[in-house]
Amino acid sequence: MALDGRKSKKLHSICKKLLKKYKNFTLADIEPESVMIMWVDGGSSAKWLGRIRIIQHPYSVFFEEKYLIEINKDKISANCENKKQFKNGVIAVCYHELKHIRDDGKLKKHDIEDFVDILKAFGVGPYTKMPNLLKMETTEMRKRLGR
């Protein structure tokens, strides 16, 4: 594991808001301070939009955070036509990565169904109709996800 991305306050603020909004609904109740999140130039041909892992030794000695989320800026922007789509896409990817964290703090494997469910619930195409998950009412989210 390498830590070669750029830490972002903006991304962290998105995570913090998502954790607050979806805590005890779809996201685990964890401290936002335990999440380090950064932009990574993963390339537009990469298969991943975002990824999460637990920060391992020796990095764990130097950082207080437990989780590292990397957001592939190139890949997300390659799928977006404008700033709004990009923003909503980034929020959705952050949300998905946070969903990897289980209630016991461990990570669950990538669940493609989970991601596809979100896309299906909000329209065809990954980003074109993706709403802002921070602005959406949780009741609306429940309805769309059928919960």
**Which positions lie near Zn ion, rule CB under 5 A?**
110
The dihedrals phi and psi of 15, each to the nearest 5 degrees, come to -60, -45
By beta-carbon distance, which residue lies closest to Zn ion? Answer: 110
Between 108 and 143, name the residue whose CB sits nearer to Zn ion: 108
Strands (E), 3-114: 6-7, 35-40, 50-54, 67-72
Between CA 128 and CA 13 the distance in angstroms is 23
Between 5 and 50, name the residue whose CB sits nearer to Zn ion: 50
Shortest reach from residue 126's CB to Zn ion, in Å: 13
Shortest reach from residue 100's CB to Zn ion, in Å: 6
Between 55 and 69, name the residue whose CB sits nearer to Zn ion: 69
Number of neighbouring beta carbons within 10 Å of residue 77: 16
